[in-house]
């Protein structure tokens, strides 16, 4: 693991005690709310210094307090700002947080005060990427955007416009205004797919009926946790202490990951795995569980579609063709074929060895057939996980009193078949009954949207018939004019140049688009390639509402200060555009009006939030899928997915080797033999916060890549060397961390670096689209590394 401000090898793994001390130190820094100091040796003094009557001035005396949510994709902690003379002088923990905010949230004190803030509309005054601008007025800027939008509509149609945002700000009003404006001018081409969690969307939502039903309130009730391919010590660090408590009381936390991450360093055990092979491991574990009769037949029969029949062509046997819930089973009591939900039915889990075998199979048997080849030895050959460890993991998970899998937005799902990886883990929980009780389950990142539905702030007209393209292949579509040319791209609440794959190609696309508008508060990597940059307000500079799928809180974000210069919030910007284009009638209201409207129909009011700031709206005793009650049409966990079969793949979890892997069909491993996976840093959320000096001081101001000593030696790379990771897509410059904390054949790149810091690791990442759910394939990437 890295030490702050430099790259260093990590041949000694951190003990749990060392890690706790380090975490406490970071917490101490966070507590000062953005004020940092360098320690120096104290001067020698007399043993009995003279008494002083001087009283230190309390710089916070008389400060006003304001509260707001920290809105990027994370835990949405509530923050408190102290304001004096119209300036925020400190940011600290707010109210009613389920865990303490991290240093990223505290760093907003710098964000709000930095001279790097954008204060006026900027028009490009050179080539894209040159960072040369001239200031223009808002009237000129709004007129220009309106003119370019109208030109796109007149020449290409609304499909020639793309207006996109992603995970930079989850506040409700900030997220509502751009779609409301676009709907009123006739719509635009849309971008589909997520960069992080298409696998859970495609698997958990369809199999279990809901995705964001989180387990984190009952983590401490678990005695065995598999942290699979993610790093909650960094990404969910606010409540990572709950994982530590599991171990403190004798439970186990096992991290499955190609890299010995911060979480792995804290865990009971680290299980390294070859990237993009996680489905093979899960199928092998399930085979051990069923072969050793560790599965829970009663739970499977009562709460899943596993006993349901398939005909010999592999299609579900239904009582009624037009009723998707009318699965049929063989009733063991009567030996007849009946509906799965018939009163008193006791279905056979398998029809092998019965008279029905000639006509049918069950979804259970069909599922286990996909596991048949995955003996522990076969799993070891494919994944690198030792056969004995495969068996141990399967037994320990199945036999745990309360077993949990933390999959979250795991890197394993950012591959071509990421949906299968998620689904295979889901089956482990379903077949062992490790779901529906405290201390069990699959996913600990959820929020109040499970129980709270906000009223739409804008009643948008319905727009149909416009094309959509996968977000990760946006650049290809722009450069090839498919399905049509893009003339205007508006980007807000995101920075594609730090996050979207194949950054070099994306850069060319941004250069080709005639008019690119970026709305942001800082000159981001994407803003460098814009034609027009519009300065927007930040947190504490505008009033908004937070009620999202990441936090248990409903929060009102106060406006504490005015934004700098001529910066404005999203509502103001899109209101001016709407008025200019003659569609402004629905925008004639202030922030409070829209927040009050959003809260209509909920149990919360604007006045209540104004007083309490943040309210925990998540039931403390909530158990996801309690007692096996799922949210599908059948009310059961649906193992078989006809939608997958329609895409030419198996309708149950199966292992397909990724194309851009060692031994994969791309053949790129002959030229680029190293697998590249991404890791998140404690200094940023995606690209957010990463360029702030405060975060650079805590971490460092340049990218590093982790490389195993075996791979480094073969390339004459030493710890700390400047290196270049490269493939046919591009190059990523960094410094080497030579460490055994990453397995041979894998290099670990870091997510989130800005162009101004040397550029994103996304310059080399795979921009293929996943087979089932449009998965982002960044962790299915091959490259080479050299000194440079």
- Angstrom distance (rounded) from CA 698 to CA 6: 10
Q: Are 349 and 300 in contact (CB under 8 A)?
A: yes
Residue 226's Cβ-count burial label (10 Å; 0-12, 13-18, 19+) is buried
Instruction: Quote the tokens at residue 358.
Output: 């000639």
Q: How many residues does the chain have?
A: 788
Helix intervals (H) in 523-655: 570-580, 591-599, 606-612, 642-645
Q: Which of 383, 384, 386, 305 is nearest to 347 (CA)?
A: 305
pLDDT reported for residue 46? 46
710 preceded by a cis bond (ω within 30 of 0): no
Please list the residues that pair with 270 across neighbouring strands. Answer: 255
The residue assigned the tokens 């495609």 is 202
**In what side-by-side order are the strands of the sheet with 544-546?**
544-546, 553-557, 614-616
Q: DSSP string of 13-36? A: PPPHHHHHHHHHHHHHHHHTTT--
* Whole-number Cα distances in Å, 449 to 194, 210, 356, 617: 18, 11, 45, 9
- Angstrom distance (rounded) from CA 104 to CA 101: 8
- Angstrom distance (rounded) from CA 653 to CA 424: 6
- Angstrom distance (rounded) from CA 588 to CA 567: 19
- Angstrom distance (rounded) from CA 338 to CA 348: 11
Give long-range contacts, CB 8 A cutoff, 24+ apart: 150-154. 150/581, 151/487, 152/487, 152/488, 153/185, 153/186
Q: If residue 122 lies in a helix (H) or strand (E), which one and from where to where? A: strand 122-124
- Angstrom distance (rounded) from CA 518 to CA 494: 9
The residue assigned the tokens 């779901």 is 435
At residue 154's C-alpha, the angle toward residues 152 and 159, to 5°, is 50
* Whole-number Cα distances in Å, 234 to 418, 458, 649, 698: 22, 36, 35, 14
Q: What is the pTM of this model?
A: 0.92
- Angstrom distance (rounded) from CA 93 to CA 82: 11
Taking residue 600's Cβ as centre, other Cβ atoms within 10 Å add up to 11
Helix (H, G, I), strand (E, B) or coil at 604: coil
Per-block average pLDDT, block size 10, for the chain (788 residues)?
A: 36 33 34 31 43 75 96 94 97 93 93 97 98 98 98 98 93 97 98 90 95 91 97 91 97 98 97 98 98 98 98 96 96 97 97 96 98 98 98 98 94 96 98 98 90 95 96 98 98 96 98 98 98 98 95 97 98 98 97 98 97 94 94 97 95 98 97 97 92 91 97 98 98 98 98 95 97 95 97
Classify residue 536 by its DSSP letter. Answer: B
Give all domains of the chain, ordered by start, each with its CATH number. Answer: 1-41 (no CATH), 122-195+452-538+562-594 (3.40.50.740)
- Angstrom distance (rounded) from CA 579 to CA 184: 11
Helix intervals (H) in 185-319: 198-208, 232-235, 241-248, 262-266, 278-291, 297-303
The residue assigned the tokens 């005695």 is 223
Q: Are 497 and 526 in contact (CB under 8 A)?
A: yes
Q: Which of 539, 541, 544, 538 is nearest to 610 (CA)?
A: 544
Please list the residues that pair with 225 across neighbouring strands. Answer: 253, 404
Q: Which of 278, 287, 230 is nearest to 254 (CA)?
A: 230
pLDDT reported for residue 50? 53
* Whole-number Cα distances in Å, 56 to 38, 50, 53, 246: 20, 16, 10, 44
- Angstrom distance (rounded) from CA 684 to CA 15: 25
Helix (H, G, I), strand (E, B) or coil at 447: coil
Q: What is the distance of C-alpha 721 from the center of its chain?
A: 31
Exposure on the CB side of residue 124, measured as CA atoms within 13 A: 19
Q: If residue 364 lies in a helix (H) or strand (E), which one and from where to where? A: helix 363-369
Q: Are 602 and 615 in contact (CB under 8 A)?
A: no
Instruction: Quote the tokens at residue 646.
Output: 């329609």
């Amino acid at each position: 693991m890295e030490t702050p401000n430099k790259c260093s090898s990590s041949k000694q793994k951190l003990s749990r005690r060392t890690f706790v001390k380090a975490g406490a130190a970071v917490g101490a820094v966070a507590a000062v709310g953005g004020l940092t100091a360098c320690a120096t040796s104290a001067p020698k003094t007399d043993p009995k210094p003279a008494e002083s009557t001087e009283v230190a001035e309390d710089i916070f005396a008389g400060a006003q307090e304001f509260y707001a949510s920290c809105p990027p994709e994370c835990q949405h902690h509530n923050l408190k700002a102290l304001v004096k003379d119209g300036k925020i002088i400190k940011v600290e923990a707010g109210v009613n947080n389920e865990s303490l905010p991290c240093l990223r949230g505290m760093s907003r004190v710098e964000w709000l005060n930095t001279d790097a803030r954008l204060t006026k509309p900027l028009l490009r005054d050179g080539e894209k990427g040159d960072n040369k601008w001239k200031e223009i007025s808002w009237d000129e800027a709004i007129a220009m955007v309106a003119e370019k939008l109208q030109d796109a509509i007149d020449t290409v149609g609304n499909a020639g416009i793309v207006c996109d945002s992603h995970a930079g700000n989850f506040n409700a009003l900030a997220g509502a205004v751009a779609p409301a404006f676009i709907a009123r001018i006739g719509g635009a081409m849309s971008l589909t797919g997520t960069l992080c969690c298409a696998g859970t969307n495609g698997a958990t939502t369809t199999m279990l009926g809901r995705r964001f039903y989180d387990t984190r309130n009952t983590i401490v009730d678990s005695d065995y946790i598999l942290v699979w391919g993610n790093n909650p010590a960094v990404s969910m660090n606010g409540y990572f202490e709950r994982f530590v408590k599991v171990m403190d009381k004798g439970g186990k936390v096992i991290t499955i990951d190609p890299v010995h991450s911060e979480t792995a360093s804290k865990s009971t055990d680290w299980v390294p795995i070859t990237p993009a092979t996680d489905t093979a491991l899960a199928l092998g574990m399930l085979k051990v569980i069923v072969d050793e009769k560790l599965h829970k037949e009663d739970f499977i029969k009562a709460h899943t579609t596993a006993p349901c029949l398939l005909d010999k062509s592999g299609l579900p046997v239904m009582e009624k063709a037009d009723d998707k819930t009318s699965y049929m089973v063989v009733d063991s009591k009567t030996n007849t074929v009946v509906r799965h939900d018939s009163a008193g039915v006791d279905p056979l889990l398998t029809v092998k060895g019965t008279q029905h075998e000639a006509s049918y199979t069950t979804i259970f048997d069909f599922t286990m057939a996909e596991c048949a080849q995955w003996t522990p030895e076969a799993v070891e050959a494919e994944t690198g996980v030792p056969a004995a460890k495969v068996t141990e993991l399967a037994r320990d998970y199945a036999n745990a009193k309360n077993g949990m899998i933390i999959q979250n937005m795991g890197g394993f799902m950012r591959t071509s078949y990421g949906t299968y990886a998620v689904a295979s883990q889901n089956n482990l929980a379903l077949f062992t009954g490790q779901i529906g009780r405290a201390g069990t389950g699959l996913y600990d990142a959820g929020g109040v949207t499970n129980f709270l539905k906000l009223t739409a702030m804008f009643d948008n007209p319905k727009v149909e018939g416009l094309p959509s393209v996968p977000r990760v292949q946006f650049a290809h579509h722009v450069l090839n004019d498919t399905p049509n040319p893009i003339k205007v791209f508006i980007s807000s609440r995101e920075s594609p140049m730090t996050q979207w794959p194949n950054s070099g190609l994306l850069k060319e696309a941004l250069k080709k688009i005639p008019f690119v508008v970026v709305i942001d508060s800082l000159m981001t990597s994407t803003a460098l390639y814009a034609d027009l940059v519009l300065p927007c307000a930040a947190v504490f500079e505008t009033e908004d509402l937070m009620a999202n799928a990441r936090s248990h809180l409903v929060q009102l974000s106060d406006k504490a200060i005015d934004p700098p210069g001529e910066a404005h919030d999203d509502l103001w910007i899109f209101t001016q555009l709407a008025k200019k284009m003659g569609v402004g009638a629905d925008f004639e209201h202030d922030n409070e009006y829209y927040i009050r409207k959003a809260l209509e129909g909920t149990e919360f009011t604007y006045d209540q939030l104004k007083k309490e700031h943040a309210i925990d709206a998540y039931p403390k005793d909530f158990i996801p899928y309690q007692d096996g009650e799922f949210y599908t049409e059948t009310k059961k966990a649906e193992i078989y997915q006809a939608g997958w079969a329609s895409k030419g793949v198996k309708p149950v979890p199966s292992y397909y080797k990724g194309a851009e892997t060692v031994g994969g069909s791309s053949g790129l491993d002959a030229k680029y033999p190293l697998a590249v996976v991404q890791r998140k840093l404690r200094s940023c959320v995606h690209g957010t916060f990463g360029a702030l000096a405060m975060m650079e001081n805590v971490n460092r101001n340049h990218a590093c890549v982790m490389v195993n000593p075996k791979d480094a030696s073969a390339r004459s790379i030493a710890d700390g060397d400047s290196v270049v990771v490269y493939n046919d897509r591009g190059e990523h410059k960094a410094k080497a961390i030579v460490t055994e904390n990453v397995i041979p054949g894998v290099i670990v790149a870091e997510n989130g670096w800005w162009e101004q810091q040397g550029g994103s690791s996304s310059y080399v990442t795979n921009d293929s689209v996943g087979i089932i759910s449009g998965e982002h394939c960044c962790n299915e990437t091959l490259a080479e590394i050299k000194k440079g």
